[in-house]
Amino acid sequence: MVGYIKYAGEKLVKPPTVTPSTPQTSSINVLENSVKLPALEIPQFSGNLGQWPVFYEIFKNSVHSRSDIPDAHKLQYLLSKLAGPALSVCSGIPPTNENYKVIYDALVEKYQDRRNLAAYYLDAIFSFKLSKQESAQHLNAFVDHFAANVAALESLKIENMDQFLLFYIAANKLDDASRTKFEMTLKKDPHFYQAFRIHQENC
C-alpha cells in the first residue's frame, strides 16, 4: 500500500513531457507561405503568328488550364486580350459561357498550326536584310535573330525537316493559285516529293 502511494505521488509531481519544436521546419513553412510570385501579365494577341506561341503558352497555363476559374471568366479574359484578325476569328460565335471552349479551340486550330508557324520562322530567316557594311552590332543582331528563329523552328518537331525546307523553297517559287492548291491537298508536314508527285498527277 505504501509503495502504491509513493508511485502515485511521483506520477502526480512528474512534469509534463514537452515535445521539442522544429524551428527549421516551421521557418520553411512560414517562408513557403510568405513567398508570392508577381502576377503574370498576359500579352495581347492581334493575329501576328510571331506573337502566338508566347500568348498561347501563357494563357493556357495561367487561365485555360485552371479549374478554379469559371468558363465565363475565362472567356471574358480571353476576349479582352484579343484584337484585330484574332478577335475576328470568334466574332461570329456568341460570347456565352458554353461557347468558351468553342472560341478557344477556334483560335488554337487557326494559329497553332505547325506548317504556318514553320513557314513564318523560315520567312523571318530568309527575309533578314544583310548590311552592306561590316558591323559587329549588325552581326550580333543577325546571330540573335537567326538563332531565335532556328530554335523556334526546332521546337515544332517537324518530321523530315529537310524535305519540308525543300517544299518551302519550291512553294515560294510558285504562283499564288498553284501554291494554294498545294496547301489544300498536302498533309500537315509536307515535303518536296509529295509536291512533285501531286504536280505529276495533275499534269
Locate the domains of the chain by residue range. 52-111, 113-157, 158-203
Poorest-confidence range of 39-43, 159-163, 169-173, 188-192? 188-192
Q: What is the pLDDT of residues 42-76, one digit of tens each?
A: 999 999 999 999 999 999 999 999 999 999 999 99
pLDDT at position 137 is 83
In terms of C-beta distances under 8 Å and separation of at least 24 residues, what long-range contacts does 179-188 make, across chains too?
Answer: 188/114, 188/115
Give the pLDDT confidence score for residue 193 in this predicted structure. 59
Instruction: Report DSSP state, residue 179.
Output: H
Q: Is 82 helix (H, G, I), strand (E, B) or coil?
A: strand
Instruction: Tell me what percent of the residues of the chain surpass a pLDDT of 70.
Output: 69
* Per-residue pLDDT tens digits for 74-126: 999 999 999 999 999 988 889 888 999 999 999 999 999 888 899 999 999 98
Going by C-beta distance under 8 Å and a sequence separation of 6 or more, which residues neighbour residue 79? 87, 90, 95, 103
Given the C-alpha cell 557594311, which residue does it identify? 133
SS3 94: coil
- The verdict on pTM exceeding 0.75 is no
pLDDT at 31 over 70: no
Q: Does the pLDDT at position 130 exceed 90?
A: no
**Which of the two residues, 136 and 15, has the higher pLDDT score?**
136
